[in-house]
Amino acid sequence: MENNVTEFVLMGLSQNKVEQQIYFVLFLLVYMMIIIGNLLIIVTIKASSNLNSPMYFFLSCLSFIDVCYSSVTTPKLIVDFQAKVKVISFTGCMAQHFGFHFFGCTEIFLLTVMAFDRYVAICKPLHYTVIMNRLMCSILVGGSWLGGLIHSIIQTLFVAWLPFCGPNEIDHYFCDVQPLLKLACKDTSIVGFVVATNSGMISLSSFFILVVSYTVILLSLTTCSSEGRRKALSTCASHILVVILFFGPCIFIYMRPSTTFSEDKMVALFYTIITPMLNPLIYTLRNAEVKNAMKRLWSRRVMMKEN
């Protein structure tokens, strides 16, 4: 069966013109916060010699991924609020689908790596610098990117090979796998099972590993000093909050058969836009070292201007 569709029409978040104008301003501000907040974290970590531990290396990688991840869908969403017809080409749709799953899956693996880093730091402090050396950190980050790439290639190939002969209206604000499967001109039950297993099992297994890791970490804190316990709890609380905000909606969307609900678009906002926006706030507001480094960086900038 041939593919007769050359472009798709995105239904977006709302068809109401007033709501679209409100959303345009709101999401434009949110996207600016995502870019500025995450770039500020990256610059602060790179410019601060005291933030050279593996934890901050992973945090800067997470911020970079958040910028890329949100940029796959958010700019198109913002532009579409001003468009009469929200059109995306078939090639553009597949590229968006690829980028979304690539950066999203990479973030899942990186959050798991960050949990492992905290486990080693808290449960094996004497061996931390030996285990989490520069080579190991690079391997873990590289493995996260490679895992995301393999996952997104599998997801995109399965969808791109499907025949689409109309209608071409996607009931979403970006090209995701479940809405696309609904438009295919053939039975997609097998493909739906494969992609759900691929995405769902990655999300669920990573979430399980994270839960186990943080459970072990929290149990081990009983032997720490009160100051060490307070610092470790503050760091872990930030990670756990990010994990819940990111993994909860992902598991809801991808750990089920190829069906869609009206709530899916609102749920998707959590892991595509809200979490990348909140990550800088969560990691800076609860981290004194990052806040102090930002203050020193700002003070240095002010002094340079005065001179």
How much is the pLDDT for 4? 75
For the entire predicted model, the pTM comes to 0.88
Q: Quick check: is 292 in a domain?
A: yes
Q: Determine the straight-line distance between the first and last CA of the chain, rounded to whole angstroms.
A: 70
* Residue 236 in domain: yes
Q: How many residues does the chain have?
A: 307
Cα–Cα distance measured from residue 62 to residue 69, given in angstroms and rounded to the nearest whole number: 10
| 3-class SS of residue 17 | helix
Identity at 12, one-letter amino acid code: G
Residues whose CB is less than 8 angstroms from the CB of residue 207 and which lie 6 or more positions away in sequence, other chains included = 243, 247, 251
Please state, in angstroms and rounded to a whole number, the distance separating the CA atoms of residues 184 and 189: 11
Domain range spanning residue 161? Answer: 7-306
Phi, psi of 235 (to 5 degrees): -65, -45
pLDDT at 213: 83
The reply to whether 1 falls in a domain is: no
pLDDT in tens, 271-280: 889 888 888 8
Distance, C-alpha 292 to centroid of its chain? 26
What's residue 302's pLDDT?
A: 56
2 within domain boundaries: no
CA nearest 87: which of 160, 15, 168, 167? 168
Q: What is the pLDDT along the chain (307 residues), one digit of tens a residue?
A: 567 778 899 988 888 889 999 999 999 999 999 999 999 889 888 888 788 889 889 999 999 999 999 999 999 999 999 988 889 999 999 999 999 999 999 999 999 998 899 888 888 888 899 999 999 999 999 999 999 999 999 889 888 888 888 788 888 899 988 888 888 888 778 887 787 777 778 888 888 888 888 888 877 777 666 666 676 676 677 777 778 888 888 877 777 665 656 677 888 888 889 888 888 887 776 677 777 777 777 776 655 655 5
| 50 found inside a domain | yes
CA-CA distance, 155 to 160, in Å (whole number)? 9
**Strand spans (E) along 106-156:** none
Q: Are 177 and 159 in contact (CB under 8 A)?
A: yes
Phi first, then psi: what are they for 87, rounded to 5°? -105, 145
Q: Residue 261's pLDDT is what?
A: 61
CATH number at residue 175: 1.20.1070.10
The Cβ of residue 74 has, within 10 Å, a number of other Cβ atoms equal to 23
Cβ atoms of residues 185 and 1 within 8 Å: yes
167-211 per-position pLDDT tens digit: 888 888 999 888 888 888 887 788 877 877 777 788 888 888 888
Domain count, the chain: 1
